[in-house]
A and B are shown apart, each in its own frame.
Chain A
Amino acid sequence: MFPAIERRIDFTAGDLSQLAHLCHDCRACYQACMYTEPHEFAVDIPRVMSEARVESFEHFARPRIAGAAFRNGPLTLAVVTLVAIVVVTVVFELISSTPGLLGITRGHDSLYRTVSHVAMAVPALLLTSFGAWVAAAGFSECVRQAGASAKARLTPVILARAFVEAVTLRWLGGGGGGCFYPDPDTPSPERRIAHHLLVFGLASAFAATISAAFAEYVLGRNPPYRLLSVPVILGTVGGVAVVIACVGLLIRNRVSPPALGSAASERGDTALLVSLLIVAITGIVLLIVQKASGELRILLLVHLGAVAGLYLFAPYGKLMHAVYRFAAIVVDVRERAANP
């Protein structure tokens, strides 16, 4: 982030947002800053950047009214997830033909006999498309507002380089000194490892869905799948990775000094981690019960409801940092190409 700061003299709001998202919160700058407390200037760059990021989530959210509504983190999550579960449950109760919430369905095609394929796929498709639209709108707005340097074209090379820098978390390295989280005095690879584990877990779960779709549409086999099938292995490994990473991050969040973060950001972090945990844990329990007895309807509805809540919440909460940070890296790669 600091080389990007040095390329500018005056800063617009778009510049600040750009720099805040370029910042990966490694906190090396706090450790190195001679103007932090007890100095009277009391500079705290990690905190300022954290607050700027939270503000930009709201600023770039589309539609804007939703961005404001979702600012409150965990409370909103709780309400949204609860509402999602209730709605899902009621709707399915009304339209379904299978009996009762506590019913267990076994055997061939038990998943879709518990909740129909259409009833799962259509909402999922709607929510995913909506989320993708919000993400794309946020991304392009971010890039557009990033300042005067945003005149050059985005080439595939720039996008590819930015993708690599984003995915490897290159800029979490503190310029070479490492990430100073959660202890501002000691560099540690914890955060990088936890983050990679989390992304891996989500990617694995996503791959599970893809492979299941393949099994269904190409191979003609409906779920439930064997324990040692590709979708189940990918999904289980993904879920376990997500649980470990989320628990790790939640625990370490408690240890980091509040001064270096911002309350709003912490709320958003916790909200996302908890919602991911709920999805992952309900999914794993669902699998265990399925293999032991069969599809437990209420459990499936809770899991689907939690997923729906996550998807509804995702375009406005912490998960969007992936989009904005990627946008910031894209802009930065483009700037560096223009100013060697």
Chain B
Amino acid sequence: MRCDTLVIGGGNAALCAAISAASAGALVILLERAPAGWRGGNSKYTRNIRCAHGQDGSPDAYPESEFAKDLKDVTGEESDPALTQLVIERSRTAPLWMESYGVRWQPALRGTLSLSRTNQFFLGGGKALVNNYYAVAERLGVEILYEASAEDFRFEGTRCTEVVVRQADREDTIEPDTVIVASGGFEANIEWLTQHLGEGARNCAIRGTRYNDGTVLARLLDAGAQPCGEPDTFHGIAVDARGPMFDGGIVTRIDSVPLGIAVNRDAKRFYDEGEDLWPKRYATWGRLILGQPGQVAFSIFDDKTAGTFMTTLYRPHQAATMEELAGAVGLPPASLSHTVSEYNAAVRVGAFDPQRLDDCSTVGLTPPKSHWARAIDTPPYYAYPLRTGITFTYRGLAVDARARVKLVAGSTFENVFAAGEAVAGNILTSGYLAGFGMTIGTVFGRIAGEQAGELVRA
């Protein structure tokens, strides 16, 4: 089998790439490793995309400069400033491109992380977006193969000449003119995770698809591709420990953390819950919980806080006293009561305002709670058991501004491109900015598709 462009992956980045390439006239085959009912990778669990928009000076605008600052605030140093700049700039044209292919928008959901100005929500969320793109891709003549995984690659120099594809028991060889890798990170590969994160990785939940096992990443890295991102970095958050090990999606995310206290399984606090606004800190808690004994933690709060954050799938544990609550979640009762009274004693009363960095803080407490500190004294008391939920890993393929995969030995592969989570590590080092994954996927997916199309025509 031959084709002009082989797209490996079935999520947002892969679909944007396939659609771009097909629109440029290329004959495209897309390999979705999952069965049709599970298609779309992690993208089906997304809800919005962050894009620069508006005129500088307008109150509703989100200029590139502010976008860049927001990114820097949460991730610190970017790996590749030029690529970061590229993604932010190209994000401006993304919504129009998406609309031209049938994507519709909806008002920002309540209970999200204050995103209505900066992020745009696609109608029906990620699954609807993915469904729409699949329909568009089919209309453009893209051949979509389900339960099809790319197992091996053959090269002549820096040119990929063959890709071995397995579907059920059959193995086929495809001869592509160009290859676009958009098959995600390796977060579903628990063994690989333990190599970099330790055995504690086995106690983490994987928030998305179980099909991202990094096979293609590994093959290309073996073939000399230059990696990007540190191997132990990832986007991870605090999720409800009672959730499923895969495919929990958004509904298991716990947002009560900054409004109460967080303790580990010894009922000890371990980090400043109010360090900064939740949208800027929510992505740090994945790693924080990973570092705690047993990779578990608990968000403790009282009746004042109940109902002030986005509801989740499971109801919190509830009790009339702190001792009872400890019993309900398996914490040592005396220790929990001690931690709470120590915390309550350190709270200085202020003007509570969860929308900004208020003056409700603790004094003389280690670790402190810098903002939104209120005494936990109004029953009933609540607790969410927390686990690390890994969204995706940052270790991936280094690319240039044309989405071509770089080689360790210098320059790039002749005809191999990459997009999506597989290239996130080019920009994200630690931490995460809500909606940015879709930005990376859409921008690089389009670039890869366009570039592949040009190469095919040449």
Contacts and interface: CB of A to CB of B under 8 A. Distances in A.
B37 A34 contact: no
B124 interface: yes
Interface in A23-51: 28-29, 31-35, 37-40
A34 B128 CA distance: 9
B249 A6 contact: no
B127 A32 contact: yes
A29 B44 CA distance: 13
Interface string B208-228: 000000000000000000000
A31 B247 contact: no
B135 to A, nearest CB: 8
Interface string A2-35: 0100100110000000000000000011011111
Given A39-B247, A40-B244, A31 B37 contact: no
B249 A176 contact: no
A189 interface: no
Contacts of B307: 9-10
A185 B131 CA distance: 8
A177 B132 CA distance: 10
A6 B244 CA distance: 24
A258 interface: no
A38 B311 CA distance: 24
B317 interface: no
B327 interface: no
B123 A175 contact: yes
Contact of B104 (A6, A31, A34, A177): A177
B128 A6 contact: no
Interface residues of A, number: 19
A185 B38 CA distance: 15
Contacts of A31: 124, 127-128, 131
Given A6-B109, A28-B124, A175-B106, A35 B249 contact: yes
A66 B311 CA distance: 39
Contacts of A6: 109-111
Given A176-B104, A185-B131, A32 B124 contact: yes
B109 A34 contact: no
Interface residues of B, number: 25
B247 A177 contact: no
Contact of A34 (B106, B125, B311): B125
Interface in B96-140: 104, 106-107, 109-111, 123-128, 131
Which residue, A10, A34, A38, has most C-beta atoms of chain B within 10 A? A34
B349 to A, nearest CB: 27
A175 B107 CA distance: 10
A34 B126 contact: yes
Interface in B296-312: 307, 311
A40 B104 CA distance: 28
Interface string B36-60: 0110100011000000000000000
17 contacts: A6-B109, A28-B124, A31-B127, A31-B131, A32-B127, A33-B127, A34-B40, A34-B44, A34-B127, A37-B37, A38-B37, A38-B38, A40-B244, A175-B106, A175-B123, A176-B106, A177-B104
Given A38-B37, A38-B38, A40-B244, A32 B249 contact: no
Contacts of B244: 40
Closest 8 CB pairs of A and B: A32-B124, A32-B128, A34-B127, A34-B44, A38-B37, A6-B110, A176-B104, A9-B307
Contacts of B35: 38
A50 B251 CA distance: 24
Given A31-B127, A35-B249, 15 more contacts: A6-B109, A9-B311, A10-B307, A28-B128, A32-B127, A32-B128, A32-B131, A34-B40, A34-B127, A35-B251, A37-B37, A38-B38, A39-B247, A40-B247, A176-B104
Which residue, B37, B127, B128, B247, has most C-beta atoms of chain A within 10 A? B128
Given A9-B307, A39-B247, A34 B45 contact: yes
Given A38-B38, A185-B131, A177 B110 contact: no
Contacts of B44: 34
Contacts of A9: 307, 311
Contacts of B109: 6
B247 A32 contact: no
B249 A177 contact: no
A204 B311 CA distance: 48
Contacts of A37: 37
Contacts of B104: 176-177
Interface in B222-244: 244
B8 to A, nearest CB: 22
A34 B124 CA distance: 10
B425 to A, nearest CB: 25
Interface in A154-176: 175-176
A259 to B, nearest CB: 13
A9 to B, nearest CB: 5
Nearest to B129: A32
A176 B106 CA distance: 9
A171 to B, nearest CB: 14
A38 B104 CA distance: 25
Nearest to B38: A38
A171 B453 CA distance: 41
A208 B251 CA distance: 54
A339 to B, nearest CB: 11
A32 to B, nearest CB: 3
Contacts of A10: 307
Nearest to B45: A34
B123 to A, nearest CB: 6
B105 to A, nearest CB: 8
B359 to A, nearest CB: 28
Nearest to B107: A3
Nearest to A6: B110
Contacts of A177: 104, 123-124, 128
Nearest to A185: B131
B125 to A, nearest CB: 6
Contacts of B38: 38
A38 B38 CA distance: 7
B254 to A, nearest CB: 16
A270 B97 CA distance: 44
A168 B123 CA distance: 21
B398 to A, nearest CB: 31
A39 B37 CA distance: 9
A34 B249 contact: yes
A230 to B, nearest CB: 45
B22 to A, nearest CB: 20
A28 B311 CA distance: 23
Nearest to B43: A34
